[in-house]
Chain A
Amino acid sequence: MARRGLPLLRHVLRHSAAASSSLPPLKTLAFAETRRSVTYMPRPGDGAPRAVTLIPGDGIGPLVTGAVRQVMEAMHAPVYFETYEVHGDMAAVPPEVIESIRKNKVCLKGGLTTPLGGGVSSLNVQLRKELDLYASLVNCFNLAGLPTRHQNVDIVVIRENTEGEYSGLEHEVVPGVVESLKVITKFCSERIAKYAFEYAYLNNRKKVTAVHKANIMKLADGLFLESCREVATKYPGIKYNEIIVDNCCMQLVSKPEQFDVMVTPNLYGNLVANTAAGIAGGTGVMPGGNVGQDHAIFEQGASAGNVGNQKIVEQKKANPVALLLSSAMMLRHLQFPSFADRLETAVKRVIAEGKYRTKDLGGHSTTQEVVDAVIAALD
């Protein structure tokens, strides 16, 4: 449970000249409850407030982003939000939003509905392609105090976010016959494999599993596997194995403890991430985000239910935990580790106590009640 990432801190520790003998075990640094014996030394000016683009989105989006805003204010976190209205039925993401994300480099976003049936292409996919956010990350783990059918789950699903089955290249050959192209390139497969192994290395993860269907799609998934294998040779300390996607789903529901980091192409990643999130407590609590070379967008980890339905919106009972934990990831990404730790500890405390839980976790609280509980639990 203690393998939570504090990448900057670990980076600082690994390069600290002295003190290799008096280095505390890295585990204790994960919880801000125990006093940290090594401090994060900022550069002068690191505490200046950072601008973050905020996209409330559709459905429960405004509710949960409002929750994050409240908690950030209560913590006096050095972030301020530039809000932009984007809705799923717009034809394209407005250019000023893209400009703002390019300027701020970081964005926090609620869910955007994608209308079925054609016409508009998904805005989520548009954003990812436009900003080249090629890695999507979901951290699925058991939260203390939340009963689930599966224990010992701590899986990170890293999913290629730009190509694969989501290329959007479809056409009708003749009436009644439609073709869709799945494109796999060596370039994208290599960079997602590199990201996955680098993530595993920086977060002290032991194993990377590649998920594929190369027995049927020999060339496409074969190319993906080849790239993963090449990158694996450069990280001899990290174990690497491969699993076929249908077997993977079966293993996830029976023995999820065998998985650590999983790297997948686009479509399988969607399914595996949602399955892993489901077994560990639901998509309402799993944090995640999309990251590229220059930008990062944080949102609810797995995509199912990120817009919610009409009933939840009316009753204001959306679960803000996923977005709160994602904003903690965002704070770390922005190099504010102590704020991130405080937020995470408070959220975990509220979940462990069990008094304030929304409907998807088996409780009856509203979003506001959970937010108030988190603010009260902040130290």
Chain B
Amino acid sequence: MALRRLLQRSSINQISSRVFPCCSQHFCTAASPSEPIRATLFPGDGIGPEISESVKQVFNAAGVPIEWEEHFVGDKVDPRTESFLTWESLESVRRNGVGLKGPMATPIGKGHRSLNLTLRKELGLYANVRPCYSLSGYKTRYDDVNLVTIRENTEGEYSGLEHQVVRGVVESLKIITRQASLRVAEYAFHYAKANGRQRVSAIHKANIMRKTDGLFLKCCREVAEKYPEITYEEVIIDNCCMMLVKNPILFDVLVMPNLYGDIISDLCAGLIGGLGLTPSCNIGEGGIALAEAVHGSAPDIAGKNLANPTALLLSSVMMLRHLKLSDKADQIHNAILSTIAEGKYRTVDLGGNSSTTDFTKAVCDHL
């Protein structure tokens, strides 16, 4: 019943149908609407605290029933997690099932894992979802981008297994497993179905890397058979790159192994205006979703009220959809889009001269 109402709305309001919640229990945490939902918030470094403040203000103005649990990155290495993120922070995300993460600067040095790696491994975040759509009102060279990139996040070329065979010869292992490929393919098709997407394209280089990408493709094909209503195609990565820069409208949902996903998702972010406008969400085992801002922490403008909160706001909308709070999600999403479309309040990176607080206020006014 709720599903039909949501799907009806998606056919009317084209904008809101782009980023949609997952609908099966396997992929989402159940949200009870009566009591406030607890969500973990990592404000992060640099401009992180300012834009997190923005999100909190907008959520308050919209009346979103979320209670934030803030956690900060410590300055000592926690031996239980081998990184600057404490065990309590990770437990909090596991308990709440959702989180929002601001930009984190990776501390340099040895003896600890990188922050992103820690989150990924400890929470089992296996899929990175980035919807890329052209924002009306912010003109780039590409006007009609509307695609979603889904990237396998745990294995592939980024396994980190390298060694020096002899002096001057280095080997790096790329690992593809059936289990991880099936998992990300399942999520991709499920996402496509739940969001009314027509086509899923698997991106690969199986003509050269026949066994590894071949296994990935085989898993995608197996999952595709279970969703006959969704068109499935396979595109070689070099064709894909060229088609994306010439005619991005050809693509709908892209599912890829780790390295190609990294490059293609950043390419798509470049098409729509950069990382400052791109939402992103990581999906983990057991339905955990950690939405994040993928841009850097911009220490040079930290604290000056100049930062652009759009990426974090759009990511928080993704988080709301994951929690099935679609009304609030749509409301906030439309408010953000109309603020940018209007063009009166734009932060410095988009060519305007509004401050973070002005932009946030404009979004709240548009609610």
Contact = CB atoms under 8 A, between A and B. Distances in A.
Q: List the 10 closest pairs (A to B, CB-CB), nearest first.
A: A186-B168, A250-B270, A176-B178, A278-B245, A246-B266, A114-B207, A278-B242, A170-B211, A149-B141, A253-B270
Nearest to A306: B238
A258 interface: no
Given A170-B210, A183-B169, A271 B263 contact: yes
A114 B241 contact: no
B49 interface: no
A254 B271 CA distance: 7
B163 interface: yes
Contacts of A278: 241-246
Interface in A46-103: none
Nearest to A175: B178
B188 to A, nearest CB: 19
Contacts of B174: 165, 179-182
B175 interface: yes
Interface residues of A, number: 61
B168 to A, nearest CB: 4
Interface-central residue, B140, B175, B270, by most chain A CB under 10 Å = B270
Given A149-B142, A217-B162, A250-B274, A122 B241 contact: no
Provide the main secondary structure of the chain A interface: mixed
A178 interface: yes
A245 B259 CA distance: 10
Given A116-B206, A172-B211, A270-B237, A223 B262 contact: no
B208 A219 contact: no
A150 B211 CA distance: 37
A149 B244 CA distance: 13
Interface in B269-294: 269-271, 274-275
Interface string B231-271: 00010111101111110000000000001001111110111
Interface string B131-153: 00000000011100000000000
A321 to B, nearest CB: 15
Given A149-B142, A177-B176, 15 more contacts: A116-B210, A118-B211, A122-B207, A166-B208, A170-B210, A171-B211, A177-B178, A181-B172, A183-B169, A186-B169, A213-B262, A217-B162, A253-B270, A273-B238, A277-B242
Interface residues of B, number: 56
B208 A176 contact: no
17 contacts: A115-B207, A118-B210, A118-B214, A176-B179, A178-B175, A178-B177, A180-B209, A181-B171, A181-B172, A182-B157, A217-B172, A219-B164, A254-B140, A268-B263, A303-B238, A304-B238, A304-B243
A275 interface: yes
A282 interface: yes
Contacts of A268: 263
Interface of B: 140-142, 157-158, 160, 162-164, 167-179, 205-212, 214-215, 217, 234, 236-239, 241-246, 259, 262-267, 269-271, 274-275
A253 B207 contact: no
Contacts of A267: 205, 259
Contacts of A171: 211
B348 to A, nearest CB: 17
A283 B242 contact: yes
B211 A223 contact: no
Contact of A253 (B176, B209, B267): B267
B246 A282 contact: yes
A165 B234 CA distance: 20
B210 A302 contact: no
Interface in A221-273: 223, 245-247, 249-254, 267-268, 270-271, 273
Given A176-B179, A219-B163, A249-B270, A275 B262 contact: no
B263 A245 contact: yes
A171 B244 CA distance: 32
B308 to A, nearest CB: 16
B242 A274 contact: yes
A334 B75 CA distance: 63
Contacts, number: 179
Nearest to B236: A304
A57 to B, nearest CB: 15
Contacts of B263: 245-246, 249, 268, 271
Interface in A92-129: 114-118, 121-122, 125
B241 A181 contact: no
A184 B237 CA distance: 21
Given A150-B141, A186-B168, A253 B212 contact: no
A244 to B, nearest CB: 9
Contact of B267 (A117, A183, A273, A275): A275
B238 A217 contact: no
B212 A170 contact: yes
A28 interface: no
Interface string A182-195: 11111100000000
A90 to B, nearest CB: 15
A302 B242 contact: yes
Contact of A177 (B175, B239, B246): B175
A216 interface: yes
Nearest to A227: B168
Interface-central residue, A150, A246, A302, A303, by most chain B CB under 10 Å = A246
Interface-central residue, B209, B210, B236, B243, by most chain A CB under 10 Å = B210
Nearest to A173: B175
Interface in A133-191: 149-150, 165-166, 168, 170-172, 175-187
Interface-central residue, B176, B205, B208, B264, by most chain A CB under 10 Å = B208
A172 B270 CA distance: 36
Interface-central residue, A218, A249, A267, A279, by most chain B CB under 10 Å = A249
A134 to B, nearest CB: 16
A191 B365 CA distance: 60
A275 B167 CA distance: 34
A292 interface: no
Given A245-B263, A250-B269, A187 B168 contact: yes
Given A117-B214, A176-B179, A246 B262 contact: yes
